[in-house]
Every structure is written in structure tokens, then in C-alpha cells.
């Protein structure tokens, strides 16, 4: 199965669940309010109607529960007077996000009709419910706990630990914590001074739009950089370690992630910068040995590269063309970083060497037969 990008991030699974009764879960930081779009209000009503029809089998959206969270993207559709920032959540429900926007950008219209949205939400609520997302949240929290000591160990005297990350692997892309950002949040919350270099991550700009916003909401100091600046910063000692997420890992430790990850790993290797990959076990494909040869890479629409979307001076979302007419464009969405360039895999069961024996030892039940 090919790796497929859903909008601006790759979600492990999209589920709709209630947010009440989950002790020990990380509370999302306070977020600026906004006017809920009419289509979100309509979807809230449709979700409530579905729950009323299904009865106790469905997660609650009453005052007792406090609201329904589209957990894999950290997005809540309020059922009361609670309001949350705009984001890609609604579009990810339908696996049809047309464009991911920075906070404050409200999409002009939903990509699917109300009836189609209702069907998608109903299927997800009926099929997945809370256990899948709860497991994912616990895995990501554990990744944060295992990864935070790596930041402490990398810190140099007299300055915050300098972390470079690529794309978005936070709670907008998974559940509650994220993968690559989980160690950063955990270290920051424990009082470790952290500064994050955020790759813009062209052509979708998930780093500039999503990761930067997440870090800002959590109070983590950060600086957005162009994708090609990372190597330069490493050459001048401005990066202590790199942490990225992953969408697929072979049983030998090869890592598929957002396009541009391989180049960052090469630069890190050349400059002796540790290159860590946050790896929930759900991303390990035990059937694969050679990632470069075996992992199909999605070729995305050329328009993602030839155009850019952002806010104009008047605050409206606009799309402009940045490539001359007649020029072709190739847009592979992912690349594969060989295990030899990876310092280690941060999993829910600890930090592992990127090799077959280490993965098999940590996950014996899943690796059996491979």
C-alpha cells in the first residue's frame, strides 16, 4: 500500500470520540477563539443526531462529555460555548483536504456536502471509537517520555537545546501529543530550555503553518527556516539534534517521511548531528526490508508545487502561481532515509537502534515470522 498524504499531514487514523473521562491525558494549551463556520455548526448537529440514533454505542456529546474531538488532528467541534482555532480537522474527516491553512484562515467551503460529511463521521465513530485513539495517545506520550532525555543530553552549556524538525508530527497529525514533537513538549514542560528550528516543509508548508502554530500555542520558542537552511545551521553548530516523524519504517530501520527528510539526514550525518526518528510501532511495516526499493512514493498534484496559498494583505486566503506557464513540475510527497543515517528510533518501548534485531526484540509478537 502506498503512503498517502491526507491534506497537510499524514494521520495515523481519523476517529471521533468523546473527550471526557480520560485521566492522565495531556490537556491541549489554551487557543484563541474564532467564529465557528456555519458548516462546522451544521456538522455538530449532524453528529448529535447520529449519536441520538445510535444510542449508547456512540460516544457522548452532552455536557457530561464536553464535546466531540476529531482526535487524530487535535481539532474539536464545539457542542457548547467552547471555541477552538480553525485548522485542517474537518477536511481530514473526509480524507479530502484541499489546502491546509495557518491559524486564522477559515476555509471558504468544505470539500464535501453535508450529507457526505455525516456519512464519513458516522462510519468513523461506529468503527473506531475511543480505544484506537486512546492507544495512540498513550504511545505518543511514551515516545515523549523516552525522547525527552535525548534533548537534555544534547543541551550545551549557556543556551537552550537546539532542535531541528521537519514537516508536522505534532498533535495536529496524531493524537494529543504527536510523535516528533512529543519529546519537545515533554522536555519543555519539565523545564528544559528548548528552541526549535522549524523547516517550512515545501510544497505544503506544514512546518511553517502547522508545527510553528502548535509550538507557539504551547509556548515553545521556535524559528521557521527555509527547507534548505538546515545544513547551513548544522555546519555552524546551531543544531544540537534533529527529530522527525515517520509514515512508514521497514523492519530493518529504513524510514519513509515527508520529502526533504533524506537531505536533512545527510546533512546531520556529515556534521555529526544526532538524527532521531519518532516511531510509533504502528508505522513499522514488518513485511519490508529495503525501504528505497520497496516503499511506493505518492506523486502529488503538480499544482501544490506551482502555486502557493496564503493570506493576502486583506486577510483573505488567496492562491497564486509561482512557476512560469509551460514549466513542468514533479512533486513526490515522501522520501526514504536509509537506516545507516538514522541515529535511533524513539518508540513507545524505548529508544532503539535502527536495525532488524533491535526492532524484533522490542516487538517480538509483531515481528514473528519476518
Question: Cβ(127)–Cβ(120) under 8 Å?
Answer: no
Strand order across the 194-199 sheet: 222-225, 194-199, 161-165, 241-244, 275-278, 344-347, 350-352
Residues with a known catalytic role: 247
Beta bridge partner(s), residue 165:
198
Pairing of strands 194-199, 161-165: parallel
Largest CA distance in the chain: 61
Amino acid at each position: 500500500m502506498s503512503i498517502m498524504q491526507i491534506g497537510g499531514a499524514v494521520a495515523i487514523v481519523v476517529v471521533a470520540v468523546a473527550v471526557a473521562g480520560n485521566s492522565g491525558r495531556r490537556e491541549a494549551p489554551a487557543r484563541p477563539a474564532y467564529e465557528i463556520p456555519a458548516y462546522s455548526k451544521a456538522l455538530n448537529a449532524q453528529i448529535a443526531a447520529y449519536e441520538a440514533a445510535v444510542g449508547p454505542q456512540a460516544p457522548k456529546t452532552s455536557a457530561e462529555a464536553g464535546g466531540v474531538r476529531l482526535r487524530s488532528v487535535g481539532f474539536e467541534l464545539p457542542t457548547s460555548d467552547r471555541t477552538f482555532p480553525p485548522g485542517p480537522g474537518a477536511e481530514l474527516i473526509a480524507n479530502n483536504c484541499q489546502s491546509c491553512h495557518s491559524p486564522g484562515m477559515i476555509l471558504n467551503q468544505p470539500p464535501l456536502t453535508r450529507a457526505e460529511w455525516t456519512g464519513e463521521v458516522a462510519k468513523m465513530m461506529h468503527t473506531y471509537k475511543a480505544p484506537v485513539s486512546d492507544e495512540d495517545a498513550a504511545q505518543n506520550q511514551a515516545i515523549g517520555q523516552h525522547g525527552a532525555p535525548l534533548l537534555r543530553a544534547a543541551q550545551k552549556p549557556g543556551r537552550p537545546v537546539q532542535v531541528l524538525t521537519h514537516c508536522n508530527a505534532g498533535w495536529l497529525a496524531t493524537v494529543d501529543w504527536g510523535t516528533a514533537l512529543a519529546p519537545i513538549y515533554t522536555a519543555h514542560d519539565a523545564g528544559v530550555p528548548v528552541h526549535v528550528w522549524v523547516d517550512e516543509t515545501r510544497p505544503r508548508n506544514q512546518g511553517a503553518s502547522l508545527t510553528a502554530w502548535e509550538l507557539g500555542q504551547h509556548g515553545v520558542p521556535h524559528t521557521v527556516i527555509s527547507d534548505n537552511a538546515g545544513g547551513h545551521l548544522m555546519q555552524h553548530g546551531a543544531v544540537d539534534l534533529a527529530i522527525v516523524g515517520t509514515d512508514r519504517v521497514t523492519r530493518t530501520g529504513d524510514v519513509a517521511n515527508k520529502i526533504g527528510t533524506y537531505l536533512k539526514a545527510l546533512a546531520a550525518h556529515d556534521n555529526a548531528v544526532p538524527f532521531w526518528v519518532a516511531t510509533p510501532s504502528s508505522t513499522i511495516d514488518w513485511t519490508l526490508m529495503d525501504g528505497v526499493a520497496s516503499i511506493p512514493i505518492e506523486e502529488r498534484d503538480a499544482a501544490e508545487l506551482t502555486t502557493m496559498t496564503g493570506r493576502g494583505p486583506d486577510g483573505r486566503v488567496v492562491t497564486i502561481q509561482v512557476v512560469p506557464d509551460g514549466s513542468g513540475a514533479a512533486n513526490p510527497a515522501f522520501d526514504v532515509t536509509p537506516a545507516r543515517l538514522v541515529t535511533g528510533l524513539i518508540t513507545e518501548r524505548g529508544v532503539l537502534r535502527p536495525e532488524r534485531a533491535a526492532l524484533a526484540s522490542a516487538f517480538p509478537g509483531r515481528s514473528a515470522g519476518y
